[in-house]
Structure 1
């Protein structure tokens, strides 16, 4: 039975975070995502966006919930990792299940407390994503299809991201800094297209092993690449629908779409290896950054 040695927990959790929740990746994504969503919602309401203390609360809580999800995934995938990823911290004993669950409890209390300063509705909204995520391990244990089919698994797990995005948009609207109307849907769809492009890109390859759980294993390399590009196209359509750009600065959030186009050409021409990951990561960062700049300096 695993035990928790309290004096060692902060160091062990710190090592886990640096290994499995690389701050320069996850924190950067979480903060830019919140800024892009909130800023775009304000810009669509006719104002120039400026971050506030409430913005900092939203960004911190989204990052903490993403960490909560990462910790939950490590426990959910433990049996698979024992066979296929024996170097993972939970498998090696660098961290234990009780330690992760204790940290998850602390995260839940912290995000609830931070949002209590915003509103009771904000508390409910920030607790919905981890609550939904806690149901997923039981669902995957009960359903081999959900567990083994990558596309079905994505359809079941992705709503956590939708709930987090909804938290940002709805709390921004509740504070009066942005309007709550139909435009929140294509705005969330825009960010979903950007994120899901990266998700498909990192799981698209010409060759695969049985334990890789790639989308290209189901759709074929060309089919998976087509979906990755379609998601980018969908994001561009949402951007044009929302902002109706008529100037070069207004087109700024669309320009990063050139990166996936170049990556797709390289991948489809090579006919071996994996989808280039650097352009996919660059697309996520640059699109969100462009949305933030557009919100701060509206055309």
Structure 2
């Protein structure tokens, strides 16, 4: 690679991030997710939560991990994108595989350095999430079923999100901020249910365009809609288990359940188009914000 090309790599990666990662979306989600999980974990110990320096290390690590996953997905989806998304940066040559892998290596070094300041456990936990994603990419390369069967692919990719949730909770436990117990499983499960509600919502529609990877194509529109709503119900169930002892005020995050309920009603009544995504987005943002507000206000 020429000197001129090397100097252009940061700019090419920056354009990729702005086009494919959309920091105002993914970074906001990563920040809210981390703050909601950490604040809830701390408040459940009966301790008032306020963000500390370690909080921002965890949030930045999660955001950078999400960028790592986006770069990896761009490579995994190359064959599909050549047919269905010919404007994607990797297809058009706006970025190369080597540049993306270099970016992933840099991200790995940064999150390792950040978490070394927290604890060895934090380093291992964040690297476990990134390592699992790399392992999964290798398995998808070898298995056509993993690449082509949406539900199977979701089943094996979902643990990446679980591992990121375990990183946030586990790093808190390693620091002595919380004592690891059964809530360390329920809290990440809550966040995963919220994410899966959105994941199913964006891939649930009455019609399936040729080549589209929709869950409704495998399950049927009605069943896919029911699963979409069920994940929202799962999130609410986790909140009830965790926060019911706090009384009505502790159940504030449950109020966002009106959004998926409304989305299900609209989708089933319309019999055309897709799940109303603004409602799914509102459920994700609203639930995380409500969890943060609850932690700040209680105990």
Q: Which runs of 5+ in 2 are unaligned?
A: none
CA–CA separation in structure 1 for the residues paired with 2:84 and 2:105: 28
CA–CA separation in structure 2 for the residues paired with 1:228 and 1:2: 49
What is aligned with 2:286? 286
Change (3 A) 1:202 1:245: farther
What is aligned with 2:259? 259
| 3-state secondary structure, aligned to 1:244 | helix
Shift of 1:150: 0.6
CA–CA separation in structure 1 for the residues paired with 2:172 and 2:182: 15
Change (3 A) 1:2 1:154: farther
Q: TM-score, normalised by structure 2?
A: 0.97
CA–CA separation in structure 1 for the residues paired with 2:123 and 2:138: 25
CA–CA separation in structure 2 for the residues paired with 1:155 and 1:174: 28
What is aligned with 2:94? 94
Q: Which runs of 5+ in 1 are unaligned?
A: none
CA–CA separation in structure 2 for the residues paired with 1:191 and 1:48: 21
CA–CA separation in structure 2 for the residues paired with 1:70 and 1:37: 22
What is aligned with 1:185? 185
CA–CA separation in structure 2 for the residues paired with 1:75 and 1:277: 26
Q: TM-score, normalised by structure 1?
A: 0.97
Shift of 1:209: 2.0
CA–CA separation in structure 2 for the residues paired with 1:172 and 1:194: 21
Residue deviations 1:216-243, cap 9 Å, x none? 0111100000001111111111101111
Shift of 1:245: 5.5
What is aligned with 1:148? 148
Shift of 1:182: 0.6
Shift of 1:98: 0.9
What is aligned with 2:229? 229
Residue deviations 1:150-190, cap 9 Å, x none? 11000011111111000000101111212210111111111
What is aligned with 1:298? 298
CA–CA separation in structure 2 for the residues paired with 1:2 and 1:70: 27
Residue deviations 1:180-207, cap 9 Å, x none? 1011111111111111000000000000
Aligned residues: 299
Shift of 1:148: 0.8
Q: Give the conservation status (yes or no) of the 8 Å contact 1:197–1:228.
A: yes
Residue deviations 1:62-82, cap 9 Å, x none? 000100000000011111111
CA–CA separation in structure 2 for the residues paired with 1:48 and 1:56: 17
What is aligned with 1:173? 173
Q: Give the conservation status (yes or no) of the 8 Å contact 2:121–2:170.
A: no
What is aligned with 1:49? 49
Change (3 A) 1:4 1:279: farther
Q: Work out whether 1:216 is the aligned partner of 2:207.
A: no
What is aligned with 1:21? 21
Shift of 1:129: 0.9
CA–CA separation in structure 2 for the residues paired with 1:227 and 1:123: 35
The CA RMSD over aligned residues, in Å, is 1.5
Q: Give the conservation status (yes or no) of the 8 Å contact 2:232–2:257.
A: yes
CA–CA separation in structure 2 for the residues paired with 1:274 and 1:9: 38
